[in-house]
Amino acid sequence: MRWIRAHLVGIAGLLVLGYLLLPNLVVIVFSFNKPNGNYNYEWQRFSTDAWTNPCGTPGICDSLGLSLRIGLIATLVSTILGTMVAFAVGRHRFRGRSSTNLLIFLPMATPEVVMGSSLLTLFIAMGIAPGSTTILIAHILFCLSFVVVTVKSRIASLDPRLEQAAADLFANPFQAFVRVTLPLVAPGIAAGGLLAFSLSFDDYIITNFNASPSSVTFPMFVWGAAQRGTPVQINVIGTVMFLAALVLVASGQLISNRRARTAA
Amino acid sequence: MSGPVADVAPAAASGLRRVRRNYTPYLLLLPGMAWLVVFFVVPMLSLGSQSLQTGTVDTGYVLTWHLQTYVDALSRFWPHFLRSIVFAGTATVLTLLLAYPLAYFMAQRSGRWKNFLLVLVIAPFFTSFLIRTLAWQTILTDNGPVAALARSTHVTDLLQWVHLTSNDSLMNSRFAVICGLTYNFLPFMILPLYANLERLDHSLVEAAGDLYATPIQTFWKVIWPLSLPGVVGGTLLTFIPAAGDFINSRLLGNTQTVMIGQVIDSEFLRVQDYSTAAALSFVLMLIIVVIVAVYVRRAGTEELV
């Protein structure tokens, strides 16, 4: 009893962690299911059919490819633009800085339906046909602010003395930036890029407003499939994404740990 | 805030600032801000204008300042607005209750397991949330172990009594929608709270103990006030997307749980009544801005932007 009381926070925390991970566990387990009907809700029997044939459902791998392509381009563009903006607001004082900050904050405070529908009205008014270009424009837009915020917080936590030291050692501003500032900010840029990719890859609501029947992203495919029955291949891809994310995030942690150790 | 600080302290605050580089911030800002203006500000204006136009998809739209659209839209759909705010608010309170112990444990007690736990919190976030929401259908399904457990422990009776479900199944109910919303936005609450609580100086907690504060007093007088910025950040990151969400209500709910996002989506894409949909969108944005402004002012933390 005393042990329980002493570890109450930990027990509660781990229960919450269980709640957080339960759906992922279900996704993994049910990727080995062989459902009787179209819906993969109830456990029937063990099978690796979906794993041996991940593209077995028509359209699934095309949508995955489109999502990966859009995700990569959106990540690249939003990370570059966002990092530039982050340096501007994080390192400089200029006229209009607070309104700039407001403009960066507002898209994050806008519900996805509002952002998606407002873009749709713009595209309609301008006579632009929806498709992968409009999806890309939307994705870069909603990733941008998150990149700025992530990179900005990294810039804010830097020790300015390191750059002064570089200047004292006769580095010109360009050298100081490339050899001191940029490597120090790099983890923030990487985190921002990773966040941007996950936001882009995962978005359904905004994408659906700006897509056409010929530009079906993976979330749109899942949504469409969920109306008629859920192919097991969805679980396979969900499992691979989860494991890839685990490896990616864990290796990121390892690298930053090792760096911290060598720095200390 | 304006005025070049670089003039006052050339190269002293940072090796990068030089007087002649004063236009650098504008060059850095230009592409990103242009994107935000063209694809965020302009569409918002376009949305506002669309809501005041009359016409149909086939015949085209004309700006007529027809404010009646707003009156009609609100009188038809106010229950959906109310429901969205109640659902999102409930889910936000629940995520706070769930996230706090986990964030506190990770930040203060987990020791060398800290990074491992952080990985476990972030990783689900990178898996498609549609797939994870579909997994809740599996978890809450009528013939599943969770529903059986809830029935045998009379939890289903309790849920029915508080009108969260309407029969003895868990799926397709208010309960399932709130459960899904709470689950989906939990990481958005955990991470800001964790970032805040990690900076909490543990010696303050020890000092409270030395001064004979009970654990509950320590929490309310020391830990909670210090964590308020994290709480405000987390609740905003949870409430705003939850209020506009319709994935959970669509996949886990029924016709009685339709949220405003779903109405906007179907008015735009299925009914194609663009003016009504734009008006609803605009009102949703307005409601959220007002709620956020009032909330941030009452919570007293301006350091969000």
Write out A73-94 in H/E/C secondary structure. Answer: HHHHHHHHHHHHHHHHHHHCCC
Cβ separation A88–B1 shorter than 8 A: no
Q: What is the 3-state secondary structure (H, E, C) of A137-183?
A: HHHHHHHHHHHHHHHHHHHHCCCHHHHHHHHHCCCCHHHHHHHHHHH
Cβ separation B304–A105 shorter than 8 A: yes
Q: Given CB atoms, is B111 within the 8 Å cutoff of chain A?
A: no
CB–CB of A28/A235 below 8 Å?
yes
Give the pLDDT of residue B13. Answer: 46
Contact residues, B window 60-79, toward A, CB-based 8 Å cutoff: none
The pLDDT tens digits for B136-180 are 988 998 888 888 888 888 888 888 888 888 888 888 899 999 999
Which of B2, B5, B26, B36 to mutate to probe the A interface, most A CBs <10 Å? Answer: B36
Domains in chain B, please, with CATH?
5-51 (no CATH), 68-299 (1.10.3720.10)
Which of A8, A29, A33, A41 to mutate to probe the B interface, most B CBs <10 Å? Answer: A41
**Averaged pLDDT for residues A241-253:** 84
Is A28 among the domain residues? no
The confidence band for B305, taking pLDDT boundaries of 50, 70 and 90, is very low
The H-or-E segment that residue B61 falls in is: strand B60-63
Domain hosting A73: range is 59-231
CATH code of A209's domain: 1.10.3720.10
User: Could you say which of B126, B131, B138 has the minimum Cβ distance to residue A245?
Assistant: B126
Asked whether residue B134 carries a pLDDT value surpassing 70, the answer given is yes
Q: Given CB atoms, is B35 within the 8 Å cutoff of chain A?
A: yes
Question: Would residue B114 be called left, alpha or beta, if left means φ above 0 and alpha means ψ between -120 and 50 degrees?
Answer: alpha
Phi, psi (rounded to 5 degrees) for A33: -90, 155
Q: How many domains does chain A have?
A: 1
State how far the alpha carbon of B23 is from the alpha carbons of A96, A172, B5, B62, B76, in Å: 13, 19, 13, 42, 51
What residue in A sits closest to B266 (Cα-Cα)?
A209
CB–CB of B214/B124 below 8 Å?
no
Give the pLDDT of residue B300. Answer: 62
Q: Given CB atoms, is B171 within the 8 Å cutoff of chain A?
A: no
The confidence band for B118, taking pLDDT boundaries of 50, 70 and 90, is confident
User: Could you say which of B28, B101, B141 has the minimum Cβ distance to residue A13?
Assistant: B101
User: Could you say which of B101, B104, B128 has the minimum Cβ distance to residue A238?
Assistant: B128
Is A86 among the domain residues? yes
**Averaged pLDDT for residues B128-135:** 89
Cβ separation B288–A109 shorter than 8 A: yes
CB–CB of B264/B277 below 8 Å?
yes
DSSP symbols for A20-49: HHHHHHHHHHHTTB--SSS---S---B--H
What distance in Å separates residue B79's CA from the closest CA in chain A?
A: 18
> What is the distance between the alpha carbons of residues A226 and B242, in angstroms, rounded to a whole number?
21
